[in-house]
Structure 1
Amino acid sequence: MKKISFILFTVLLSVSATAQKSLDELLQLYNTRSVPYISVEELRMLQLNEEVVILDARESSEFETSHIATSQCVGFNQFSAEAFSEKIKDKNTPIVVYCSLGIRSEQVGEKLKKAGYTNVQNLYGGIFEWKNKDYPILDLSEKETDSVHTFNRVWSKWLNKGIKKY
């Protein structure tokens, strides 16, 4: 019995480590870490205790399905650091950029850094990781929802909690 318990424990530990490692590997494949990561736990603390500008680098249809409270949809395809500079003049403003997993948001963060912003971070795991940790997300009417736009079925495997929308 002890041997079976040990084997079961080892398998569960292995599966858990592999899932996390897989997200690490995915982000290493697509990202350069040119924009430092912030964890969902760290962002939640900032969101509750300090002023931070939160930017959603997903497209408007994704944002409309759900988003992190107080975030602004800046999109990815049409994002302009110059236009953003008109809204936020202080280049030292704390800014966290997120997308589904943290890939598109790194590119938006790079544009912000090139525009002179000095305090830009990329949300590790994006809104998927946020929802996977049971943090609240809001729909377009600012009501809490469980729906998350996962872009497509391939990327949806990274969302473990909530209702997947495409």
Structure 2
Amino acid sequence: MKLSPIRNSVTLVIMLAFFHFSTNLAAQSLAYKTLLFTLYDSDFPVLEPAQLTDLTKYQILDTREKEEFEVSHLKGANWVGYDTFSLNNVASLDKDKPVLVYCTVGARSQDIGKRLKDVGFKEVYNMYGGLIEWVNEGKPIFHGDFQTNKVHTYSKSWGIWLTKGEKVY
């Protein structure tokens, strides 16, 4: 019996959550990296938060849903959504300027990034680990123009990976 990719991901999250709670913080990092490895395509470029020293070099797209974006986002990010995503949302962007896409962990943003590449965007990067990794590395997030520590983690099961900040579901 073949399980759907979503069911496989949920099963993996549960297994890794058990691993997370039964080991130390260093192992949690390994568990999170293992989870991300299963979600990402090896041929789609990622940039780790430590590599993103100047966000102004990118057109930043938040591919989460509106209620997630409204809790917090990267400074200068434009909300484009995932379930509601439309190429009309990115019609005004420069296809020759680098684009950084992100979501909670990087799965949804990778899908949107592929769509952008398919319509001619030259440089599209997925933010490794998503907003969770960004915050865990101590990088700032914003609610409007003000810095915040609140992070919408999509769900409680994904929220286990957030080690810094305040979880919002």
TM-score range relative to shorter protein: 0.7 to 0.9
Shift, 1:19, TM fit: 2.2
Judge conservation of contact 1:92–1:118 (CA < 8 Å) in 2: yes
Judge conservation of contact 1:34–1:106 (CA < 8 Å) in 2: no
Q: Which contiguous aligned blocks of 4+ residues in structure 1 show a shift greater than 2 angstroms?
A: 14-21
2:91 aligns with 86
Which of 150, 153, 156 is residue 156 of structure 2 equivalent to? Answer: 153
Which of 104, 109, 119 is residue 105 of structure 1 equivalent to? Answer: 109
Which of 125, 135, 138 is residue 139 of structure 2 equivalent to? Answer: 135
- Give yes or no for the alignment of 1:26 onto 2:35: yes
Indicate the SS of the match to 2:91. helix
Judge conservation of contact 1:34–1:110 (CA < 8 Å) in 2: no
1:78-123 Cα offsets, whole Å, 9 max, x none, are 112x3144211x3221100000111111001010010111100000
How many correspondences in the alignment? 147
Judge conservation of contact 2:80–2:90 (CA < 8 Å) in 1: no
Distance 2:143 2:152 in 1: 11
Distance 2:88 2:42 in 1: 24
Shift, 1:40, TM fit: 0.5
Distance 1:16 1:161 in 2: 12
Higher-Rg member (1/2): 1
Judge conservation of contact 1:65–1:149 (CA < 8 Å) in 2: yes
Which of 47, 58, 74 is residue 52 of structure 1 equivalent to? Answer: 58
Letter in 1 for 2:62: D
Which segments of 5 or more consecutive residues in structure 2 lack a partner in the other structure?
A: 1-22
2:119 aligns with 115
Q: TM-score, normalised by structure 2?
A: 0.81
Which segments of 5 or more consecutive residues in structure 1 lack a partner in the other structure?
A: 1-13
Distance 2:155 2:57 in 1: 33
Distance 2:108 2:95 in 1: 21
